[in-house]
Structure 1
Amino acid sequence: MQTIRNANGLNLPKLGLGTWPMLDDECTRAVLQALELGYRHIDTAAGYNNEAAVGKALVHSATPREQIHVTTKVWYDKLEPADMRASLDNSLKALQSDYVDLFHIHWPGKHGDLRGDALKRSIDTLVELHQSGKARAIGVANFPLALLREVVEILKAPLSAIQVEYHVLLDQQPLLDYARQHDLAFTAYTPLARGEAAANEVIQRIARKHGVLPTQVALQWLLGQEGVAAIPKAAGRENQQANLDALKLRLDDEDRDAIAALPKNRRVVSPADFAPVWD
């Protein structure tokens, strides 16, 4: 499994298992199965209500904890310092672990209102949790470019990663360019656009050409990019294995040109009650 490494301590397997919206035993079974198949990157969050289920899998897996990268996140209503510290402590308890490998702020407040002094307090606390060893690396999720720039250039936070929606139907090039310039891993969530990528005629045509699944084409388009990881959700063994097998696919220039020509304005995750204004 290829990994993304950077100067701030990150060692992130490029393909991970997304766990939202799996819960309870379904989630535990999926994580155990993924680890058995060879996954070493598990993504969860306090807001998913499944950290305890992930933790149960981590404890019962034959794979040692130190070989597994675990990402979790703090919800947007827990961004004051005491709340953030308590959130991470609760996450560690649920995960049955002394640390997480990557700890994200999940959303930049409500409608992107994490600004000014509130932003500084939250980022200072994020850095503090990194320095404590409870979070081996830190990052942000769903931050528009202007806000990410403020965190990196003004607050000087030693971020390791950003996680955002990214797939063949959504352009994130300005954000990706910035991440590369500042040595940030770029994790793509909803990498299959909730089924829309595989339903696309161009993606299907490329899949037929290579004798693979459309989902594998969409994933390889991401995984083949420098600094980009992807975390598709998959509960069943067949889908988990198919996603792993996407690592073996090699797209050619004709494939990439065809994907580049697709419309890139389809955002499928933008909750009306708390999403920021996107750049």
Structure 2
Amino acid sequence: MTTIPTVTLNNGVPIPQLGFGTYKIGDDETRDAVLSALEAGYRHIDTAQMYRNERGVGDAIAASGLPRGEVFVTSKLNNGHHAYDDALASFDRTLSELQLEFVDLFLIHWPLPAVGRYLEAWRALEEILRSGRARAIGVSNFQPAHLRTLLDESTVVPAVNQIEMHPWFTNADVRYFDESHGITTEAWSPLGRGAVLEDPVITGIAEDHGATPAQVVLAWHLARGVVVIPKSVTPSRIASNLRAVDVELSEDEVAAITALDRGERQGSHPDTENRTDR
């Protein structure tokens, strides 16, 4: 079985560096997709309240027969639950949906600066961490300004910041801030929703390594110390993505892919995403 490297978070918890994402996988498909991932060798599953597929993730983990300690599970707080009591109650529902007694990582999904309650939500996550029902807590889509507020006003440094990152959007400023403060960066949309896979630099490197373009892009993330969570519902592609850990890129190849950055964000900007109805 493929050996997946781990990254040690700032509180000592190890996280598998290559995980399986479940964004936009319907709950009816999630069980089979996650079970395929676990059977292929993934040991890190990422979900969120917003995805409405936590039940399918939990069903797959139960069906896998794997010991709980062998599967790293992440979920995220929904946008409409930043109030302290709402955050605690919604976390209880997450554990119920996942059919688990604890999660390994729980994140605030979006900062929602216009709403202005992410500090309140963070205090709820700190309470969840103290209770032992999450082994680590962190954030998603937080910009340096949001992170500075958290660091100034709270006692727990986020273990993870999950952000959009791919070769056409390296999000270098946020990654640098994370590294400077002991926060692990995790990439969502690591393949640029497939758009970057036809870039000639990437296809050329893939040809040189006898690898797929997706494996090369994932290997680029891994070489830079980033945690990455590609998703697919196709068993062959799920297994293929995992083999990215066997692709060893040179420093020059990593630099060439990094230089592809266009500043092209594909998802919402954290400063303007303020929807609370999902």
Deviations 1:85-108 (A, max 9, x none): 111000000000011100000011
CA distance in 2, matches of 1:206, 1:153: 43
Q: Decide whether aligned partners of structure 1 residues 59 and 152 sit closer, same or farther in structure 2, where only a CA change above 3 A counts.
A: same
1:8 aligns to what? 11
Are 1:233 and 2:231 matched, yes or no?
yes
**SS at 2:75 equivalent:** strand
State the AA in 2 paired with 1:99.
Answer: F
Question: Does the 8 Å CA contact 2:27/2:54 hold for their aligned counterparts?
Answer: no
2:89 aligns to what? 86
The percentage of aligned residue pairs carrying the same residue is 38
Are 1:187 and 2:189 matched, yes or no?
no
**SS at 1:267 equivalent:** coil
Deviations 1:139-172 (A, max 9, x none): 0001111111221244232321110011111122
Are 1:266 and 2:264 matched, yes or no?
yes
Are 1:58 and 2:56 matched, yes or no?
no
Question: Does the 8 Å CA contact 2:110/2:270 hold for their aligned counterparts?
Answer: no
CA distance in 1, matches of 2:54, 2:170: 30
TM-score of the aligned structures, taking structure 1 as reference length: 0.92
Q: Decide whether aligned partners of structure 1 residues 177 and 198 sit closer, same or farther in structure 2, where only a CA change above 3 A counts.
A: same
Question: Does the 8 Å CA contact 1:16/1:232 hold for their aligned counterparts?
Answer: yes
CA distance in 1, matches of 2:38, 2:74: 15
Shift of 1:271: 7.0
CA distance in 1, matches of 2:8, 2:270: 34
TM-score of the aligned structures, taking structure 2 as reference length: 0.92
CA distance in 2, matches of 1:19, 1:76: 18
Are 1:150 and 2:153 matched, yes or no?
no
1:195-274 matches, within 5 Å, as: 195-226=194-225, 228-270=226-268
Question: Does the 8 Å CA contact 2:186/2:227 hold for their aligned counterparts?
Answer: yes
Shift of 1:247: 0.6
Deviations 1:81-140 (A, max 9, x none): 11101110000000000111000000112xx2253xx33322211101110111111000
Are 1:162 and 2:165 matched, yes or no?
no
Alpha-carbon RMSD across the aligned residues, in angstroms, is: 1.8
2:122 aligns to what? 123
**SS at 2:85 equivalent:** helix
**1:29 pairs with one of 12, 32, 36:** 32
Unpaired stretches in structure 1, ≥5 consecutive residues: none
**SS at 1:99 equivalent:** coil
**SS at 2:185 equivalent:** strand
Shift of 1:50: 0.1
Unpaired stretches in structure 2, ≥5 consecutive residues: none
Question: Does the 8 Å CA contact 1:165/1:269 hold for their aligned counterparts?
Answer: yes
Deviations 1:36-88 (A, max 9, x none): 11100000000000000101111111211111000000111110011101110
Q: Decide whether aligned partners of structure 1 residues 266 and 87 sit closer, same or farther in structure 2, where only a CA change above 3 A counts.
A: same
**2:104 pairs with one of 101, 121, 128:** 101
**SS at 1:123 equivalent:** helix
CA distance in 1, matches of 2:69, 2:163: 26
Question: Does the 8 Å CA contact 2:9/2:160 hold for their aligned counterparts?
Answer: no
CA distance in 1, matches of 2:16, 2:270: 32
CA distance in 1, matches of 2:205, 2:137: 37
CA distance in 1, matches of 2:151, 2:270: 27
CA distance in 1, matches of 2:156, 2:93: 23
Shift of 1:175: 1.5
CA distance in 2, matches of 1:271, 1:29: 32
